[in-house]
Structure formats: C-alpha cells, structure tokens
Amino acid sequence: MWLDLASFALTALGLFFFVAGTAGLLRFPDTFSRLHALTKADNLGLGCVALGVALQAGHWTDVLKLVLIWALALLAAGTVAQLVARAALAEPRARKGEGERP
C-alpha cells in the first residue's frame, strides 16, 4: 500500500519534470537554455520514474535493468548536450535560436 503510494508519487514527480523540460524546450529562447531544460527531464524525470517503477519490480534483476537504463540515458544525454552546445558555439546561427536545425 505505502509502496504503491510511493510509486505514484515518484512517477508523478518524474512526469512533472518531463512536462517542465518539454515546456522549457519549446519556450526557451536559445540552444543553451533549451539544453538546460532538457537535462531536467533526462536526469531527474527519468530517475524519478525509474525509481517509482523499481518499487514495483518483482525481482532484483529488474531493478538492475532499470538502473542500467537510467545510467545509459544519463551518459548519452550528458554527452549529446555537450556536443550540441559545442556545435552551437561554433555556429552562431543556432545559438540565437533563429535556425530551426543545428
């Protein structure tokens, strides 16, 4: 019962971060602030959802898989954010948010 409530609370919190991150991605003016918004969704949002789902896992290997998914998503998101930011530094058009593509 308490486990279910904790799962609901954590996944809800995770979804809130995803919504906030999406809103930031759509509304923020330039590449760097958009990246900042996205990291919230990937790190905190996915982390909270994974934690909430892990509380419902039937076996410890399921928990391990969830941790691996979160860690890989974190690694990929962090790397891609750095690469996109550097590409934006090299190309001023993308920095001001004028260009719709990188």
Partner 1 sequence: MTGAAALMLDLLLVVLVAFAGWAALAGRGVFRAVVFFIAYGLLVALGWVRLGAVNVALAEAAIGAGLTGVLLLATVGRLERAGAARDVPLMRGAAAWVPALAGLAVTGALVWAWFALPLPESPGPQLAEALPRSGVENPVTAVLLNFRSWDTLLEAIVLLAALLGVWMLGRDGDWTAPLGLRQHVREGGVMAGFGRVLPPLGLLVGVWLLWAGADAPGGAFQGGTVLAAVIVVALMAGVAAPPGVDALPLRVALVLGPGVFLGAGLVLAALGAGFLTLPEAQAKAVIVAVETALTLSIAVTLAGLVLGPPTAPNGAAARTPDGARP
Query: What does each C-alpha distance from 33 to 29, 51, 81 come to in angstroms?
Result: 7, 27, 11
Query: What does each C-alpha distance from 102 to 4, 15, 67, 77 come to in angstroms?
Result: 42, 27, 31, 16
Minimum CB–partner distance for residue 68 and partner 1 (Å): 8
Q: Which of residues 69, 89, 92, 96 is near partner 1 by CB under 8 A?
A: 89
d(CA 78, CA 76): 6
- The residue count for binding partner 1 (CB under 8 A) is 11
Q: Does 93 bind partner 1 (CB under 8 A)?
A: no
Q: Does 26 bind partner 1 (CB under 8 A)?
A: no
Q: Does 12 bind partner 1 (CB under 8 A)?
A: no
* Contact code string over 33-72 relative to partner 1, x by CB under 8 A: ---------------------------------------x
